[in-house]
Structure 1
Amino acid sequence: MYSESLLVHFQRAEALRSEAVALPSVNLKTRQLCDLELLLNRAFFPLKGFMDRADYESVLSDMRLASGELWPLPVCLDVSSETGQMLEAGSKLALRDQEGFLLAILQVSDVWIPDLEREAAAVFGTADPAAHPSVRFLLSNTGRYYVGGSLEGLSLPLHFDFQDLRLSPSEMHRRFSQNGWRKVIGFQSEQHLHCAHKEMISRAAREAGASILLHPAVGVQYHGDLDQYTLIRSYQAFVRQFPRTMISLGLVPLYQRKAGPREALLQAMVRRNYGCTHFVVAGDQADPFAETGDTFYPKGAAQELVRAHEGETGIAMIPMREMVYVEEKAQYLPEDEVEEGMNVRAITSQELRHRLEHGIEIPDWFSFPDVVEELRRAHPPRSKQGFTIFLTGLSGAGKSTVAKVLLARFLEMRDRPVTLLDGDIVRRNLSSELTFSKEHRELNVRRIGFVASEITKNGGIAICAPIAPYPEAREHNRNLISQSGGFVEVFMNTPLEVCEQRDRKGLYAKARAGLVKGVTGIDDPYIPPANPEVTIDTTEMTPVEAAQVILLFLEEQGYIR
């Protein structure tokens, strides 16, 4: 069940490029580019464009298009109020990538303001942003207007990485046909795969008499996600553990909404369009909290929904069976076949990370040497990782002085490049155009975080010393930097009265006299960190002593030796 792409003939493409010069246009976000690519290459068959309002409303209420065809999730193009107000049915909109390269022309059939809370309740099962991260994202990051219509594609979004793995549905069908594969199991993965996964996938393939398509979703990175390049290289190493005639690896640019059962059904239908006849579904498939074990959707609900529509979708659901290593048998068994008294061994994802960060051996029964090698490249021991020390606190709390002591100590060690991003230095050189409004303070702290993440990513040490009074920007930086290396938040918890006594810049005196406004601690709040790694009060502690506390913590955590 697939159709040729929505890409037009090159002669038509030339005409569209000329026409697009006079058309309004939007530069698509990464998630929108993922949707566009799957529309153009027909992985989202039978859709021929972004949904109009009739399809959208029908999908929300019945999981069906207005025509009656099964479709579980809305695929809509959201735009700003400015763009939405200039469009109407019959107009055209040029769709471009983030660099302005023209990808497609949308023939607009509908423009409307959606009820996002109703959409959240229908799609995710709740409209509470505190209960579901995707609801929070939907309500805070979606453009005010939705635009629907058919597409004429000029080019698929450009990818410069792993191009040989980015096969379209028609190309994947061709590969299966050339290999003589009549039955194919699709398997979507978001985490590293090890020996247990090989046993699980192999067993499912044998029982179905099918070959395997390992088909991870790529495109959108989420906070806490694994490095995508490392992930894909580890998949390449994993695939090498199978006979070449049994498994194929491909990438699909599927934006994951984490919508539980509805999304599992969408994943199955996409794999159907890629040529799969079976799809492996976990009990907690597409659950936003699957990694923590405290799931949002009922266990098994995703499997039940995919199975219920097998006749209509044409793809059979295979339940994922968790495999565990039994020491007495020196082999993996399905968890439900383990007998009482058997010695089961396991390594959690947290323990794996700990072993990687501290250079501890990873046993052969758990993973394959080729996979472990890829992981060690991306996760060197902490003593060789880059890291950021993020000092936050009131003006006068001692941040800058402690930061300078740390800078000297790290320069003495000479094992990694080190950069000081002090608040005043950044204000002069990186954020000189910013005011001291809350919005600009947030932006300033996020700029510091971005620079620190680049330093950390490249194996260096970043010492940051802004006031950073608000938790949102601090949490943003923690999430950003933690993807690249270590993040150590140091709360300089020196009381306001002590900071005022020091007042080297005269800032507090001016604020008390009413000469300046928006001074943190006086007429603008400082919200303390909830869980800093280190808390220091410099009231009766010298800067050298405070720096030593931080250095001891770094040594204890393995960042320095």
Structure 2
Amino acid sequence: MSSLPQPHGGVLKDLIARDAPRRAQLFEESEKLPALILTERQLCDLELILNGGFSPLEGFMNEKDYNGVVENVRLADGTLFSMPITLDVSQEQIDELSIKPGARITLRDFRDDRHLAIITVEDVYRPDKVKEAKEVLGGDEEHPAIRYLYNTAKEFYVGGKLEAINKLDHYDYVGLRYTPAELRAHFEKLGWTKIVAFQTRNPMHRAHRELTVRAARDRQANVLIHPVVGLTKPGDIDHFTRVRVYQALLPRYPNGMAALGLLPLAMRMGGPREAIWHAIIRKNHGATHFIIGRDHAGPGSNSKGQDFYGPYDAQHAVEKYKDELGIEVVPFQMMTYLPDTDEYMPVDQVKPGVKTLNISGTELRRRLRNGTPIPEWFSYPEVVRVLRESHPPRSKQGFTVLVTGYTNSGKDAIARALQVTLNQQAGRSTTLLLGETVRHELSPELGFSKEDRHKNLQRIAFVAAELTRAGAAVIASPIAPFEHSRKVAKSTIEQFGDFYLIHVATPLEHCEKTDKRGVYAKARRGEIKGFTGVDDPYEVPANPNLTVDVSKQSIRNIVHEIVLLLESQGLLDNGN
């Protein structure tokens, strides 16, 4: 008989194992049914329903369960459950797929079109999103999950039980992706009876290692490092980097103390409600203890600098339901380094006057960005090595320079000269996206309406963003006449690197006077329609990084100004 805790609700709802004999039959049926293609978040939820991570759920919540969870933190049968697990659909999808009570719908993976499960629809209902936002997430409309609820989640929810056809396919870290049943079997094989689970969506350093080791030793237990590798907070470090960090850190634990397993969860950053949810999930995976930190699963602060949740709301929430959860809360201890004794100690145990050291997350990012040393007392060399591979110094990071202005303003000449200058410096690939070239190669079907100009610029932004992500220097020189389109392009690119807007403010009269191709004359005669500066507007950039003018400056002087701007931001290596 297993010594591990019973799953939530008493039975692990492993639908993959349970439905194994029927798979072939279900697959044949799924081919004939209408198919709903799932989003990334829906796929994360589906996987944890199918493998039992969300036990006792056997499907997406119907209206009674949904209302019970939102209003009372309980399913309709009274079982504790804190987070709505819902399948959102639009009216268009309802009509197209004939989604109604009694219907059977195939659920399909958007990534490879594989059929994963069949849902038997119990009900289709319109949720009270305002109530859900307030009761589950706190109601602050700046909360990322509330923005998702209002702006991304569709207007109807579909409730119904699932029958599994296939497991979701993963191609990364396959050996670390344990289902709850597999992880429980792993613990049984090792003889573990007490397991302290550690939830994380960030890299781990020495303080985290010390905290988890202390928590395990105090309870004569083992450690499960159980990071989230589904959807986390926007801006978090990618899970590939984080998992490499966890793998590098694992040998630093006392022999046999710790195990690493990955959790494909779509976080809601729901603070107290999320902490209860996380505890249920860890109990289903076999954990007996769960570390809950300060502001656990909180999204940080809003635009006024106010935290969405109190610092210990999550701990209090889980403690309140401790008996029902059947998992012990381990309060997160903030650890600090004592240089005089070369040890870590909980902050509340440090005597007044004792010297301590710490490096904040902001300071760590600055050191990674600038290539500044990171001391071994803070993080192990093998961890730092992984982080530096994914966070190269500024002189190796990609960036985009967008040069905007009228036709014949000199923007293309500036872009070409800047490319030559950057190519002279070794160490970074440089790509030139000239306006006319892009029009010919990427957007040959587009015209010059405001909508088509917007589409053209966003295609440029997509290409520039991917190249920037890969560490290249990108120089683009479209006319880009509209402020809104430039802002959207900037937001696309800045996810992966710096963006610099250069406004070539050469006066229209000069552009027209020096036009050797005669395009302005054709536009004046009406032979070319929608020509910027003649019968189409150019919106002057509100906040360019640099404003230049070829009627007053040479191309060489302008390029030098741009190079100085890039050097001031640490993007060019002066040693080259």
TM-score, reference length from structure 2:
0.88
Give the Cα–Cα distance (whole angstroms) in 1 for the partners of residues 89 and 532 of structure 2. Answer: 37
**Distance 1:522-1:311 versus aligned 2 partners, 3 A rule:** farther
Deviations 1:267-308 (A, max 9, x none): 111111111111111121111126998521122111111111
**Distance 1:47-1:441 versus aligned 2 partners, 3 A rule:** farther
1:345 aligned residue: 357
Q: Which amino acid aligns with 2:435?
A: G
Q: Which amino acid aligns with 2:473?
A: I
Give the Cα–Cα distance (whole angstroms) in 1 for the partners of residues 90 and 533 of structure 2. Answer: 34
Matched, 1:268 2:291: no
Give the Cα–Cα distance (whole angstroms) in 1 for the partners of residues 530 and 268 of structure 2. Answer: 43
Deviations 1:109-137 (A, max 9, x none): 11123333332222221262xx2222222
The counterpart of 2:126, out of the listed 113, 120, 128, is 113
The counterpart of 2:229, out of the listed 203, 208, 218, is 218
1:43 aligned residue: 53
**Distance 1:109-1:160 versus aligned 2 partners, 3 A rule:** same
**Distance 1:179-1:448 versus aligned 2 partners, 3 A rule:** same
Q: Does the CA contact (< 8 Å) of 1:264 and 1:281 recur in 2?
A: yes
Q: Does the CA contact (< 8 Å) of 2:508 and 2:533 recur in 1?
A: no
1:103 aligned residue: 116
Q: Does the CA contact (< 8 Å) of 1:420 and 1:462 recur in 2?
A: yes
Matched, 1:62 2:72: yes
Q: Does the CA contact (< 8 Å) of 1:173 and 1:275 recur in 2?
A: yes
**Distance 1:333-1:425 versus aligned 2 partners, 3 A rule:** same
Q: Does the CA contact (< 8 Å) of 1:43 and 1:273 recur in 2?
A: yes
Relative to structure 2, which stretch is displaced further, 511-520 or 9-18? 511-520
Match runs of 1:126-275 below 5 Å:
126=139, 128=141, 131-220=142-231, 223-275=234-286
**Distance 1:180-1:145 versus aligned 2 partners, 3 A rule:** same
2:23 aligned residue: 13
Matched, 1:31 2:45: no
**Distance 1:273-1:436 versus aligned 2 partners, 3 A rule:** farther
Match runs of 1:466-477 below 5 Å:
466-468=478-480
**Distance 1:10-1:182 versus aligned 2 partners, 3 A rule:** closer
Q: Which amino acid aligns with 1:16?
A: L
Q: Does the CA contact (< 8 Å) of 2:523 and 2:534 recur in 1?
A: no
Q: CA deviation at 1:311?
A: 0.8
Q: CA deviation at 1:360?
A: 2.3
Give the Cα–Cα distance (whole angstroms) in 1 for the partners of residues 348 and 521 of structure 2. Answer: 66
Partner SS state of residue 401, structure 2: strand
Give the Cα–Cα distance (whole angstroms) in 2 for the partners of residues 279 and 549 of structure 1. Answer: 55
Q: Which amino acid aligns with 2:572?
A: I
Q: CA deviation at 1:54?
A: 1.5
Q: CA deviation at 1:46?
A: 0.7
Q: Which amino acid aligns with 1:22?
A: K
Partner SS state of residue 390, structure 1: strand
Give the Cα–Cα distance (whole angstroms) in 1 for the partners of residues 230 and 525 of structure 2. Answer: 51
Give the Cα–Cα distance (whole angstroms) in 2 for the partners of residues 521 and 409 of structure 1. Answer: 33
Q: Does the CA contact (< 8 Å) of 1:437 and 1:518 recur in 2?
A: no
**Distance 1:513-1:363 versus aligned 2 partners, 3 A rule:** same
Partner SS state of residue 360, structure 1: coil
The counterpart of 1:322, out of the listed 334, 339, 362, is 334
Q: Which amino acid aligns with 1:36?
A: L
Give the Cα–Cα distance (whole angstroms) in 2 for the partners of residues 338 and 398 of structure 1. Answer: 64
1:488 aligned residue: 499
Q: CA deviation at 1:435?
A: 4.7
Q: CA deviation at 1:528?
A: 3.9
Amino-acid identity (%):
39
2:417 aligned residue: 405
Q: Does the CA contact (< 8 Å) of 2:13 and 2:56 recur in 1?
A: no
Give the Cα–Cα distance (whole angstroms) in 1 for the partners of residues 117 and 330 of structure 2. Answer: 37
Give the Cα–Cα distance (whole angstroms) in 1 for the partners of residues 542 and 187 of structure 2. Answer: 54
Q: Does the CA contact (< 8 Å) of 2:524 and 2:534 recur in 1?
A: no
Matched, 1:332 2:341: no
**Distance 1:170-1:552 versus aligned 2 partners, 3 A rule:** same
Name structure 1 gaps, 5 residues minimum.
none
Give the Cα–Cα distance (whole angstroms) in 1 for the partners of residues 474 and 233 of structure 2. Answer: 23
Match runs of 1:410-421 below 5 Å:
410-421=422-433
**Distance 1:68-1:501 versus aligned 2 partners, 3 A rule:** farther
**Distance 1:506-1:317 versus aligned 2 partners, 3 A rule:** farther
Q: CA deviation at 1:44?
A: 0.4
Give the Cα–Cα distance (whole angstroms) in 2 for the partners of residues 291 and 170 of structure 1. Answer: 39
The counterpart of 1:447, out of the listed 443, 459, 470, is 459
Matched, 1:462 2:471: no
Name structure 2 gaps, 5 residues minimum.
1-5
Give the Cα–Cα distance (whole angstroms) in 2 for the partners of residues 303 and 473 of structure 1. Answer: 45
Partner SS state of residue 240, structure 1: helix
Q: Does the CA contact (< 8 Å) of 1:396 and 1:499 recur in 2?
A: no
Larger radius of gyration: 2
**Distance 1:192-1:291 versus aligned 2 partners, 3 A rule:** farther
Q: Does the CA contact (< 8 Å) of 2:13 and 2:55 recur in 1?
A: no
Give the Cα–Cα distance (whole angstroms) in 1 for the partners of residues 263 and 359 of structure 2. Answer: 29
Matched, 1:94 2:103: no
Q: CA deviation at 1:428?
A: 2.1
**Distance 1:470-1:80 versus aligned 2 partners, 3 A rule:** farther
Q: CA deviation at 1:139?
A: 1.5
TM-score, reference length from structure 1:
0.90
Partner SS state of residue 270, structure 2: coil
Q: Does the CA contact (< 8 Å) of 2:197 and 2:225 recur in 1?
A: yes
Match runs of 1:74-93 below 5 Å:
74-85=84-95, 86-93=98-105
Q: Does the CA contact (< 8 Å) of 1:508 and 1:522 recur in 2?
A: no
Partner SS state of residue 21, structure 1: helix
Give the Cα–Cα distance (whole angstroms) in 2 for the partners of residues 328 and 473 of structure 1. Answer: 56
Q: Does the CA contact (< 8 Å) of 1:500 and 1:508 recur in 2?
A: no
**Distance 1:179-1:481 versus aligned 2 partners, 3 A rule:** farther
1:542 aligned residue: 554
Q: Which amino acid aligns with 1:124?
A: L
Give the Cα–Cα distance (whole angstroms) in 1 for the partners of residues 538 and 323 of structure 2. Answer: 59
Matched, 1:123 2:132: no
Deviations 1:211-261 (A, max 9, x none): 111111112365422132111101111111102311110000000111121
Deviations 1:4-29 (A, max 9, x none): 41125444211122212221112211
Partner SS state of residue 32, structure 2: coil
Q: CA deviation at 1:524?
A: 6.2
**Distance 1:555-1:525 versus aligned 2 partners, 3 A rule:** closer
**Distance 1:279-1:499 versus aligned 2 partners, 3 A rule:** farther
Q: Which amino acid aligns with 1:263?
A: E
Q: Which amino acid aligns with 1:362?
A: I
Deviations 1:363-396 (A, max 9, x none): 1111101111111222222223333223456666
When the two chains are superposed, the root-mean-square deviation of aligned CA atoms in Å is 2.9
